[in-house]
Amino acid sequence: MAVTWDGLEKVQPLATRTLKNSIQKNRIAHAYLLEGERGTGKRDVSNLIAKTLLCLNLQDQIIPCEACINCKRINNGSHPDVHIVEPDGLSIKKDQIKTLQQEFSKSAVESEKKLYTIIHADKMTVNAANSLLKFLEEPNEGTTAILITEQIQQILPTIISRCQVITFRMIPTDVLVNKLLEAGVSSSNALILASITNNIHEALELNNDEWFAQARKLVLKLYEVLRKSAASAMVALQEDWYPHFKEKSQIDRGLDLLLFVYKDLISLRLGKDKQQLLYPDFRNQLEMDVLQMSTRTLTDKMSSILEAKRKLNANMNPQLLMEQLVLKLQGGSTFV
């Protein structure tokens, strides 16, 4: 479903108002820098701006019709006057910016306006950034540039100074949960998905991903065998964990899911709202277990998982890492 200005305003009110005002008052900047965490809607907004500027049947000065040829082609990524530049491999290279400049030296094909979006603008090489800087200093008439980044500190200050910076905030968890519920996600999955990602599209993909569904089951199984013995947990690692969590990103996600179990235990221990549990379908078991663990024990276990995530990102051997973590988590589970 296409992103709308009204829908965007519910999750990014300040950014939306700033952009809407500039468009409605015909004070569109020649360059915008959309910055903020991953999943906060920056790319969707870039697409929405393009449709708002090029729509043939714009309503109320701001609402794209979604039905004209321009709106359809922008949604399909095939409009000749809308260009997107993304990293070629690990970076955006000078030749990519030069090609963009050559394209924008030509007249617009379909209208008097042209727009380009640079995704991950922080990944431009030094030469690419310097080429873009010249482009920004002498913009072509009718050209709008949109730079998107999650790492604004990596962008040249001279480029930042030539753009209107629009900051995108993290989407409130309750807003994201409601959107997921509206999209048909079960209540047992909505909150945990909203805790994993701030991106509704990614959350919906995970919800339909069989790997993720199985990962959730295996994490809860590992937690259960940890209550029995270290030996049982080691067997679970060999039989379940290693075959399923193969890649570094998968292991990291598995550690997050395991961390959420202990976050639920802490919440129960502190008497917080049970409706906010990340594993609501596992509540009965957790309520029994929390009686056997002190707050200090739980925080120590959470610290051990966070330390494991740090070691994983420091390229420690994943198998050794998990074995060490299991031994730490298995100890001290049955005292108050």
pLDDT digit string, tens, across residues 265-316: 999 999 888 888 999 999 999 999 999 889 999 999 999 999 999 999 898 9
Q: What is the CATH number of the domain that holds 244?
A: 1.20.272
**Of 141, 168, 195, which residue constitutes the final position of a domain?**
168
Q: Dig out the tokens for 141 from the structure.
A: 């008439």
Q: How far apart are the first and last CA of the chain?
A: 50
CA atoms within 13 A on the CB side of 10: 10
Report d(CA 55, CA 71) in Å as an integer: 6
Q: Which residue has the tokens 């039989």?
A: 239
Report d(CA 234, CA 81) in Å as an integer: 58
Residue 201 lies in a domain: no
**Of 108, 141, 168, which residue constitutes the final position of a domain?**
168
pLDDT digit string, tens, across residues 184-200: 999 889 999 999 988 88
Query: Which residue ranges of the chain lie beneath pLDDT 50?
Result: 332-336
Predicted pLDDT at 110? 63
Predicted pLDDT at 39? 80
Q: What is the CATH number of the domain that holds 123?
A: 3.40.50.300
Closest to 134 in 3D by CA, of 185, 94, 183: 94
SS3 94: helix
Whether residues 135 and 230 share a domain: the answer is no
Please state the domain count of the chain: 2
Mean pLDDT score across all residues of the chain: 90
Whether residues 108 and 14 share a domain: the answer is yes
Residue 186 lies in a domain: no
Residue 123 lies in a domain: yes
Please give the C-alpha separations between residue 25 and each of 17, 61, 63, 115, in angstroms, as whole numbers.
12, 9, 14, 19
- Residue 95 carries which side chain, given as an amino acid letter? D
Residue 182 lies in a domain: no
Predicted pLDDT at 108? 62
**Of 168, 193, 226, which residue constitutes the final position of a domain?**
168
Q: Give the domain range for residue 286.
A: 209-330
Whether residues 84 and 156 share a domain: the answer is yes
SS3 82: strand
Whether residues 217 and 146 share a domain: the answer is no
Predicted pLDDT at 336? 31
Whether residues 236 and 138 share a domain: the answer is no
Report d(CA 50, CA 23) in Å as an integer: 11
Q: Dig out the tokens for 159 from the structure.
A: 């480029």
Whether residues 221 and 274 share a domain: the answer is yes
